[in-house]
Amino acid sequence: GDQVLDLAGLLEAGLLTGAAADAVRAAADGSLNGLLALGAGPRKALRARLSELLREDAPERDQLAPLLSNLVDCTLHLPARIGDYTDFYVGIHHATEVGKLFRPDNPLLPNYKYVPIGYHGRASSIRPSGTPVRRPNGQTKAPDAAAPVFGPSRRLDYELELGIWAGPGNEQGEPVPISAAADHIAGFCLLNDWSARDLQAWEYQPLGPFLAKNFATSISPWIVTMAALAPFRRPFTRPEGDPQPLPYLDGDFNRRAGAIDMVLEAWLQTAAMRAAGQPALRLSRSNLTDAYWTWAQMLAHHASNGCNLQAGDLLGSGTLSGADEGGRGSLVSGALEQSNV
């Protein structure tokens, strides 16, 4: 619910044994990297034991009470040390809307339906949700200006995304087959990839995002494990007429349960709205099933060239928009139209 459980206290009280105890010991340095590196077994054992201890009729109830803290009294930190961060572009509705601004007759580039597109982001500026974001400076150029100017961004955007936490890594030069991708994914978090659209429009050619995106990324401090999401897995299918994934991105489990039925929403509540007692306003509502590529395909493609992923690496999904106007996961369409790019 709205409380936080002290796992180290549980271990000290002798309430954890075996693989569940190993999982907590692995996180003794104050981060979850060691736990993520252990793989799914210890995480599942810890989750099962916690489910037993937190039952309303659990005999250990009195022992747990001193180990629970109210969430509002806790300072939340990044759950793991993030060594690397890669942001993908798997939201096909978002990619299509953005592509229409540049190529109205052919919004998606030919590689989109064959390659999970991504770029290497900046890990050092990822912060837990609630950390203030300072408006970035950078170069912008108006369509009718002879030269760019330097100053604060005027078109700061949000991006509703999902973050994927890497579990056990792979050796450099050793790809991760899609059949093993699930073993290398620890869980998910919400992610907001702040984007300065006016900076992005000027700087992105020819090498893509740079200062427009590396100044701040907000993530939920919580990791929702793959085991917790198991009931929401759904078959992964491609629209009729679309190319099927290449063999290294295709597999039986991915077809049977590669998609995840997860509703995603972005809400806005400004300081003025809070002061006036006004409720938050929902900006968008979409579903992870709208993604064109699955979590397993993203990880398998990332490691397909032998790139060595490490426990605690973070993969962003890219903006996850729905098919209708109420499902847009960012303001990018309006921002770029105003820029006349």
- Dist. CA 166–CA 223, nearest whole Å: 11
Query: What region does 3 belong to: left with phi over 0, alpha with psi -120 to 50, or beta?
Result: beta
CA 175 to chain centre: 22
Cβ–Cβ contacts within 10 Å for residue 37, how many?
A: 18
List CB contacts of 234: < 8 A, sequence separation 6 or more: 257, 259, 260, 261, 289
What are the DSSP E strand ranges found in the chain? 3-5, 68-70, 85-88, 118-120, 126-128, 137-140, 149-152, 156-157, 160-166, 185-192, 195-196, 217-219, 224-225, 233-234, 259-260, 263-268, 281-287, 314-316
Cβ distance 131 to 219 under 8 Å? no
- Per DSSP bridges, beta strands 185-192 and 149-152 are unpaired
Is residue 302 among the annotated active site residues? Answer: no
Joined together, the tokens standing for residue 94 give 């978002």
CA 271 to chain centre: 26
> DSSP letter at 31?
S
The catalytically annotated residue of 93, 94, 301, 302 is 94
Which amino acid is present at 152?
A: P
Are 198 and 335 in contact, with CB atoms under 8 Å apart? yes
Distance set, CA 163 to CA 29, 170, 223 (Å): 23, 19, 9
Active site residues: 94
